[in-house]
Amino acid sequence: MVMNNRIKELRREQSIKQKQLAEYFHVSPSTIHGWERGDVPMLIDDFHTLAMIFDVSMEYLGGYRDERNR
């Protein structure tokens, strides 16, 4: 569940709307909402891209580390 909270937290910190992420990933805003809730699985490539967008490590995004550094 940590990963889902981090996606939402990072998105809000950078003032990115769900709709904007959805357009970038060519998915619906409800898919982004599902990622944030943990209801919709994401591809590893999308996970990696999110880490790059938010400039954090995949370990941080996934909740395995508390340090954001890449």
DSSP-assigned letters across all residues of 29-52: HHHHHHHHHT-S---HHHHHHHHH
Indicate whether 37 belongs to any domain. yes
pLDDT for residue 44: 94
Q: Please state the pTM of the whole predicted model.
A: 0.85
What range does the domain containing 15 cover?
2-61
Report CA-CA distances (Å) from 60 to 23, 27, 35. 24, 24, 16
Question: Which CATH number does the domain housing residue 47 bear?
Answer: 1.10.260.40
pLDDT for residue 49: 96
pLDDT for residue 5: 86
pLDDT for residue 4: 72
pLDDT for residue 52: 95
**Residue entry with tokens 């599902």:** 34
Indicate whether 16 belongs to any domain. yes
In this structure, is the dihedral angle defined by the CA atoms of residues 61, 54, 26 and 38, taken in order, positive or negative? positive
Predicted confidence (pLDDT) per residue in 23-58, tens digit: 999 999 999 999 999 899 999 999 999 999 999 999
